[in-house]
């Protein structure tokens, strides 16, 4: 059986150096929803006000806050960006990196 060799990963922006200290690992839609609701209540916004500010429907924001599976990934990423969050992908295997060796060495 022939061995499959993956194509090189296109260059990606590295995570902020302090991402681990300021961020959190979320493993479910429900956890994303809790963070979303936390953000909204921290900013003292009603569901309707926050949705208007973010340019989405009240229904979409409510679905995200409830962790509903029907929310499209592109919509969720846009909402999180609008709230000031970055989504950082980190391989669980410490021997795997999404950055090239030049990026990791600072070259």
pLDDT digits (tens, 9 = 90+) for 1-17: 667 667 777 777 888 88
Contact 66, 29 (CB under 8 A): no
User: Per-residue pLDDT tens for 43-92?
Assistant: 999 999 999 999 999 999 999 999 999 999 999 999 999 999 999 888 88
Rounded to an integer, what distance in angstroms lies between the CA atom of residue 34 and that of residue 7?
A: 36
Question: What are the boundaries of each domain within the chain?
Answer: 27-105
Handedness of CA 74, 77, 81, 87 (dihedral sign): negative
Q: What is the CATH number of domain 27-105?
A: 1.10.260.40
Measured CA to CA in angstroms, residue 11 lies from 38, 65, 81, 101, 102 at distances of: 33, 32, 20, 11, 11
CA 94 to chain centre: 20
């Amino acid at each position: 059986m022939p061995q499959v060799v993956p194509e090189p990963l296109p260059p990606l922006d590295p995570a902020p150096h302090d991402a681990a200290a300021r961020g959190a690992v979320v493993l479910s839609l429900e956890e994303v929803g809790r963070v979303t609701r936390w953000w909204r209540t921290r900013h003292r916004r009603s569901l309707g006000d926050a949705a208007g500010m973010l340019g989405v429907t009240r229904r979409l924001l409510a679905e995200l806050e409830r962790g509903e599976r029907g929310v499209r990934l592109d919509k969720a990423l846009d909402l999180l960006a609008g709230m000031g969050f970055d989504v950082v992908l980190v391989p669980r295997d410490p021997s795997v990196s999404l950055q090239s060796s030049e990026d990791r060495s600072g070259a």
